[in-house]
Amino acid sequence: MDMFLYLDKDTYLHRLDPRTKLFVMAGSFAAVMLAKAGFLLAVISLLILIYGASGRSLGNLKRIKFLLIMLAVISTLLWALAFQGTTVLWGPFTREGLYYGMATGVRLDAMIIAGMIFLSATKIEEISLGIERLGLPYRAAFAFSTALRLVPMIAATSYTIMQAQRARGLDIDTGNVFTRTKKYVPLLIPVFVSVIRGTNVFAMALESKGFGHDEERTHYLQLGYKKADVLALAVTAGLLAVIIYLR
């Protein structure tokens, strides 16, 4: 079971500088938050999907399709109940609240998809070096990249322990939601113990290699802006300017 998000492809998107991809992701977040008209929001979401498809970086969306669907549905229902409009459709639901809830769901899904595209097309080492080149201290950049590494490690550990307990006869697939949730509780202790043990070994490995001894460090990986980076930055900045003007 592959727990990592990076998709090893040879596309223009994978070859872009990580700082460029960070800016495009941040620009996508800003664009969907600034867009007020439903048509404009749909166009921006479509552009994000085209951007990911052009770099063959949408493969991980099938892993979070349930999350995307649930976010859209729950957002629509909650905001339809909470947002007070003037055109009543049925009971507490209004047309304005329904439209606002749907727009909020699309915004959340679009931002998650933009983030998933970034993680699918960028190695963790590139992310760390990219944010370090943007001015973040390398200790903070390393901590951020380590957090990204820990997420799949915890997921892999949980999956391994769950399969081991299934082999011992633990039934975690039957019963209602509350019954299945109670069956998962005993699995938390071995997961936490395994993660803490691995983190301790990781800390000792860093200390043995002198991590943090120098304020500056060298990198084998070298970054540099190319023509494709300039074009991507210009297109993103231009689209943001158009959206701000329309707003």
User: How do residues 88-106 score in pLDDT, each as one tens digit?
Assistant: 667 666 777 788 888 888 8
User: How do residues 10-64 score in pLDDT, each as one tens digit?
Assistant: 888 888 988 999 999 999 999 998 888 778 888 899 999 999 998 888 888 888 8
CA 109 to CA 66: how far, in whole Å? Answer: 11
Residues β-bridged to residue 88: 94
